[in-house]
Amino acid sequence: MSGAAWGRPRPKAPVAAKAMTAFAFLLIYVPLAALVVYSFLGPSNGPGTPDAGTLVWYEKVFSNTQILGSLYASLWVGLWSTVGATVIGTAAALALERTRFPGRGVLEGIVHVPLIMPEIVLGLSMLMWFVLLRITLGYFSIILAHITFSVSYVIITVKARLHGFDDSLEEAARDLGASPWQVFWRVTFPLIWPGVLSGALMAFTLSFDDFLITFFTAGVGSDTLPLKIYSMIKFGVSREINALSTLMLVFTFALVMFFFRPSKGVKTVT
Amino acid sequence: MSAWRAGWRKVAEKARPRLRRPPLLVLPAAGWFLWFLLAPLAIIFVYSFASKGVYGGVVMKFSLSNYVRSADLIYLHIFWNSIKLATLTAASCLLIGYPMAYVMATASARMRAFLLVMVVVPFWTNFVVRAYAVKVLLGEQGPVNALLASFGLISEPVVFANTAFAVWLGMVTNYLPFMVLPLYVSLEKFDFSLLEAARDLGASPVKVLFKVLVPLTKPGIVTGLVFTFTPALGEFVIPDLLGGAKTMLVGNLITEQFLKTRDWPFGSALSLLLILTVTGSLVLYLRMEARRQKAEEGA
């Protein structure tokens, strides 16, 4: 980050700190590993005998139409909220990072509200607002709610990537007679699109994973995948949940790996 | 070098076109935030002074009864439960996260990138799934019990489910990244030669930690505490799934007002109290951040 700190010699971390780090990673990853391993184990034949390896839970997941329906719903909601949040957020990030105008500070502050406000408050405030506006609770209201918190993350991500953007390139294009539209699509967008992609991926992941805000704004009968998993856990534990959770883990891991893929010369935004 | 960079940034900042009106590009975002973020939050404020109708609707007649009611001992006790849980979570995350961030900041560039990904990946996985994973781990037929039994340490499975320990584990693993990342940002910029200087001048390791390292990374510590304490304060799903909802928390109480008893005004009043707590810690955080930026620009 700051260039100066890099060159300085760094001491080795004490063994106790390393042990604590290892312990923390155990706390984080052992439960996830247990979840995955148990998704491949069938019920044992009585106490004392080890569980047998099986794919039966995965077969159950893929033949459960309710689960597939909620997966479809999650993807649909994720897609539309990502499109909405990315367009709105990118436009705002461009203006916020590159111009100064009255109210800029206020808007910067508001951008951070969804990050710091407890999710439960965001969820129930939107529930009351939607009911007041007579917007039927369902997938549409979920998408509106998801766009609201995703826009903030898109703005922050795209802004971070815009930092250090060379304005003179656009100036050169304008001087050479390009229209504003041409400048945007031929010069600006190709330069900022990695940031836009990062923002879009983040918006999708957040939407796909969101539980609490969806919980409040979903109404009756519309289940996204996290809501479905929650109710499955509430109504009894079956290893079908392990299989489904494992699939979700794999999907999110793949997204994150793509997000954090080693890229030379481009700063990774966390 | 960094002074030069800061100076250059200042020049770039000044060179930005100064507009008289907000540009068109921010209008969609500004409108969206106004309509779907600020208006709903304002509704909480308005409803908190209304009262519940006979059939669960909202009657718009000004009263303070919801706030008077929330000062009842039962509800104060629930607030206290939430504050205790959030404090325990934030403190545990700091104790575990600080050494982690220190290890990351002092690791080689390769190791550092690896550790960062290791910290961030669970942050992106679904938190219901993560809570469930803890449930699986500690379940009666789970691996911990199987391991203990295979060593002959126990004859009956230990019941971890619905215990304070299960809730603690779920909360800490969930909120740890919120603590580690700001701490890492702080430690990454830290000038480690100061530690050596302090040691050379005869300070004990404990003294070096509390007189040099901790004071100079205070912004990271405060940010981490705010980012763990505030979301943990409204948390109820993890305690619900792992603790069997034995202790009532603010989150449960608020949710009940909206989904069960349909007393929106009382729920709004409780939410506003929650927002006030969060805003309080946010103001503290922003002050620190402003001071830090000032110090940085002066450097």
Q: How many CA atoms lie within 13 A of B117 on its CB side?
A: 16
Q: Specify if A42 maps to a domain.
A: no
As a whole number of angstroms, the distance between CA B96 and CA B88 comes to 12
Q: Nearest 5 degrees, angle CA A259-CA A261-CA A267?
A: 80
Q: Specify if A157 maps to a domain.
A: yes
Nearest CA to A229 out of B159, B293, B241 is that of B241
As a whole number of angstroms, the distance between CA B144 and CA B22 comes to 58
pLDDT tens string, chain A, 270 residues long: the values are 444 445 556 778 889 999 999 999 999 999 999 999 988 887 755 555 566 778 888 998 899 899 999 999 999 999 999 999 999 999 999 999 888 888 889 999 999 889 888 899 999 999 999 999 999 999 999 999 999 999 999 999 888 888 777 778 888 998 998 888 899 899 888 888 888 998 898 899 889 989 999 999 998 888 899 999 999 988 876 788 999 999 988 888 887 777 766 554 444 444
DSSP secondary structure letter of residue B202: T
CB contact under 8 A, B106 and A95: no
Q: Choose the closest CB to B137 out of A31, A92, A119.
A: A31
Question: How far is A169 from chain B, CA to nearest CA, in Å?
Answer: 15
As a whole number of angstroms, the distance between CA B190 and CA B292 comes to 13
Strand partners, B52: B58
Write out residues 5-64 of A within 8 Å (CB-CB) of B. 5, 8-13, 16-18, 20-21, 23-25, 27-32, 34-35, 37-38
Residues 6+ apart with CB under 8 A from A20: B96, B99, B100
Nearest CA to B48 out of A110, A131, A141, A121 is that of A121
CB contact under 8 A, B43 and A129: yes
Residue A237 has what pLDDT?
Answer: 63
Q: Nearest 5 degrees, angle CA A31-CA A32-CA A34?
A: 65
Q: Specify if A49 maps to a domain.
A: no
Q: Which of B18, B123, B136, B289 to mutate to test the interface with A (most CBs of A within 10 A)?
A: B136
Question: How far is B134 from chain A, CA to nearest CA, in Å?
Answer: 5
Q: Which residues of A touch B195 (CB under 8 A)?
A: 11
Domain span holding position A254? 66-259
Q: Are A130 and A141 in contact (CB under 8 A)?
A: yes
Segments of chain B scoring below 70 in pLDDT: 1-15, 56, 245, 296, 298-299
A265: left (phi over 0), alpha (psi -120 to 50) or beta: left
Residue A246 has what pLDDT?
Answer: 92
CATH number for A179: 1.10.3720.10
Strand partners, B51: B59
CB contact under 8 A, B124 and A144: no
- Confirm or reject contact between A81 and chain B (CB < 8 A): no
Q: Specify if A72 maps to a domain.
A: yes
Tokens for A7, please give them.
Answer: 């060159």
Q: Are A135 and B17 in contact (CB under 8 A)?
A: no
Three-state secondary structure along chain A? CCHHHHHCCCCCCCHHHHHHHHHHHHHHHHHHHHHHHHHCECCCCCCCCCCCECCHHHHHHHHCHHHHHHHHHHHHHHHHHHHHHHHHHHHHHHHHHHCECCCHHHHHHHHCHHHHCCHHHHHHHHHHHHHHCCCCCCHHHHHHHHHHHHHHHHHHHHHHHHCCCCHHHHHHHHHCCCCHHHHHHHHHHHHHHHHHHHHHHHHHHHHHHCCHHHHHHCCCCCCCHHHHHHHHHHCCCCHHHHHHHHHHHHHHHHHHHHHCCCCCCCCCCC
Residue A68 has what pLDDT?
Answer: 92
Q: What's the structural domain count of chain B? A: 1
Does the CA dihedral A212-A23-A245-B168 come out positive or negative? negative
Q: Specify if A56 maps to a domain.
A: no
Q: Nearest 5 degrees, angle CA A141-CA A146-CA A149?
A: 135
Q: Specify if B129 maps to a domain.
A: yes
Q: Specify if B13 maps to a domain.
A: no
Q: Which residues of A touch B127 (CB under 8 A)?
A: 209, 211
As a whole number of angstroms, the distance between CA B22 and CA B30 comes to 10
Q: Choose the closest CB to A8 out of B21, B176, B192.
A: B192
Residue A93 has what pLDDT?
Answer: 93
Strand partners, A53: A41
Nearest CA to B161 out of B187, B143, B135, B186 is that of B135
Question: How far is B201 from chain A, CA to nearest CA, in Å?
Answer: 17
Residue B4 has what pLDDT?
Answer: 60
Helix and strand numbers, DSSP H then E, in chain B: 16, 2
CB contact under 8 A, B28 and A12: no
Q: Specify if A131 maps to a domain.
A: yes
Q: Specify if B29 maps to a domain.
A: no
Q: Which residues of B touch A24 (CB under 8 A)?
A: 96-97, 100, 176
CB contact under 8 A, B37 and A127: no
CB contact under 8 A, A209 and B22: no
Cα distances from A155 to residues A4, A5, A199, B212, B224, in angstroms, run 28, 28, 8, 36, 22
Q: Specify if A45 maps to a domain.
A: no
- Confirm or reject contact between A75 and chain B (CB < 8 A): no
B51: left (phi over 0), alpha (psi -120 to 50) or beta: beta
As a whole number of angstroms, the distance between CA A51 and CA B14 comes to 67
Length of chain A: 270
As a whole number of angstroms, the distance between CA A1 and CA B275 comes to 33
As a whole number of angstroms, the distance between CA B208 and CA B211 comes to 5
Nearest CA to B36 out of A217, A109, A78, A205 is that of A217
Q: What's the structural domain count of chain A? A: 1
Cα distances from A202 to residues A118, B5, B294, in angstroms, run 19, 29, 31
Residue A137 has what pLDDT?
Answer: 92
Q: Which of B32, B36, B92, B129 to mutate to test the interface with A (most CBs of A within 10 A)?
A: B129
Which residue in chain A is spatially nearest to B136 when comparing CA positions? A35
Q: Are A152 and A111 in contact (CB under 8 A)?
A: yes
Q: Which residues of A touch B30 (CB under 8 A)?
A: 92, 103, 107, 110
Distance linking the first and last C-alpha atoms of chain B: 11
Q: Are B235 and B171 in contact (CB under 8 A)?
A: yes
Q: Specify if B63 maps to a domain.
A: no
CATH number for B137: 1.10.3720.10
Q: Which residues of B touch A260 (CB under 8 A)?
A: 117, 120
Q: Which of B79, B95, B128, B156 to mutate to test the interface with A (most CBs of A within 10 A)?
A: B128
Length of chain B: 299
Nearest CA to B218 out of B197, B241, B239, B190 is that of B190
Question: How far is B215 from chain A, CA to nearest CA, in Å?
Answer: 18
As a whole number of angstroms, the distance between CA B133 and CA B131 comes to 5
CB pairs under 8 A between A and B: 274
Tokens for B298, please give them.
Answer: 């002066």
DSSP secondary structure letter of residue B34: I
Q: Specify if B196 maps to a domain.
A: yes
Which residue in chain A is spatially nearest to B26 when comparing CA positions? A92
Domain span holding position B91? 68-298
As a whole number of angstroms, the distance between CA A268 and CA B129 comes to 26
Q: Specify if A173 maps to a domain.
A: yes
Q: CB neighbours (10 Å) of residue B85?
A: 25
